[in-house]
Structure 1
């Protein structure tokens, strides 16, 4: 029996999140074979980790049109487009049904451990582009497998690699040994165990984006019921006009309201802002933690730390393919100037596709939040446009691939690079200004 040609092989999509599943839907519409590999046990595994958090964007902006067409024959009913889903709503009401419709094109419990050209490491040029991709995976039971693909679309996101407390981008001294008292996620304070962890305690919240606003707002709510609950809000920069976002002037009202709630938490005394504090060391002190800044300042002891300093892409399993990445953002080279938070405001990032997402290695693409590297802002709608363009390119429809089919809504009251009082806060991914994304694949969200 003859081996299949490269064109007969599937396009492997890594990750069954919103953008990965949308990629599969677009590939199927193009008549291409898709195979989605998901490390978790269900669709939207990462989204389910923040099931308690509500998106800034309504349902009308977080579903993909082609995916909706695929869902329609199954009896799926589109949610009210004007309402705002939680992460749990998104996963249960859209992502899982979409994965179910895709059927055996989605495989769970498979972690990708390596991607390469068959028989070629990254050094070898000979016949490189003629070889299919080989994808190494590990099953939930630890067994190794090898798959082949004509193209690879990496939609694995950045959720698995949160930023550390250290202001230099590395873990602070003592951070790892204090891990039992440090969280890198917005806690669900409706959960009994989480509530007990923070109730009546002093918690340091590190970060300046929407995730930090969410944590501050909900710790303030907890403080109303649990005396002694207090947040020390650690900012690497000062407090300026854009610190709390756009407020009532924000064109995403839910996000503006969240910033106002964070401001109210500070003004009510439930949180105290510590500005210009760049964490260098975490020390233990009689069962509590003391944060020490680069300038030698010592924070009063805290019981817990919530570090919300952004996320970064896991590139370890892509070491044998030739990626063209910006040296600062770790985003595709052509895309990076368009999303650089030191330069761009929310309203100046325009829709993009295959041209901006291509690499020196043909037919491999980073999409969704992973395509943005360390940049903090990402809209689900942008990801859907990315995979529409890429599916068209893989199918050979270059005209459609290069055509823009998305008009993004205005996303806030943005003033450009001047929003960042300190460029480090933009580079570190801890938010800043109005550019905390309303419908991201990770945080950038609000909670009731």
Structure 2
């Protein structure tokens, strides 16, 4: 596992660049997922614009003005933060790179780099505006197309998605939140995908109404981008080992004197290993005795590697498990004594094929809203089934014990079917000829 890019570059290229400790592997792949989603969304919006399904909005703008004081101060502030914190992290070394998250939320930083980049950013903004300056500023009408707003859409999705993911995660893990609410809110770990999806959807709805973008067509355009982003984001979960993995595979145990190596085990050895690490698993699964710990015994076929069914997540970013023999790092030196099902890998593969499926349907489902309905259905089905072998907090509702994700997954399937059939009934008469 690579908790951050420092470990990845050290292992793959043999270089030790302390500044890379700041770039978490999970965050890196989340950033890639947003970029990929933005690209796919742009392609789809342009296609719908060419088909006449989406139109632009005329916006009046004043051009030729010199940079205002507020613009200069804003750019100075952004540059200062980048230099003071981010570049400061790279050049500080020591404790800063050992715990970059604590450094980011502390008052420490590099004043010289902060001031230098602040002045540079403000100067660049002044120069940009100075080149466009007119003797007499004038008002012009410019047409802004939906694909021109992809950057704003991604920012809104990222901001409100992160907020929603944190809220839903803390609701799901309320006891942990009560113990340390500040860390729970500010940490980069602990994100619930469906919470992010719901809050981001609400934000984008109001944004689309404000800028007169057809919401149903926008949802159809977003659907393939969302499932692709989810696939890439799950790579980050797998690479970092963020605790978002499956239940125990009782057919295997991790070889104690090795790193990441697993071997077949009988029931007695599994139970002995479970008892030896009972405190770990009782805490992880939040149960009262080891007999309640969920597990399944599945042996890998001979033509497939064991890790596809049983993975110990060595050097995981949440420091879960038992110490790895011979590990000399200051942190990230644990692995799971009993391997688990690598559910992030399963979701990466399945979600990518679902992306290809939705991408193949985008021109065939011409009624607006139907493609998004299909997305909700397949997304809910995928998540419901993976929850059967995934570690998660369970609720007690009328004798049933579903997880938060299972509840939302069922609602997504029902909601997706409703969206599909209602859209088909309401808009079937307005199917466009050109696609």
Question: More helix per residue: 1 or 2?
Answer: 2
Question: More strand per residue: 1 or 2?
Answer: 1
TM-score scaled by length of structure 2: 0.25
Higher Cα radius of gyration:
2
TM-score scaled by length of structure 1: 0.25
* More contact order relative to length (CA 8 Å, sep ≥ 6): 1
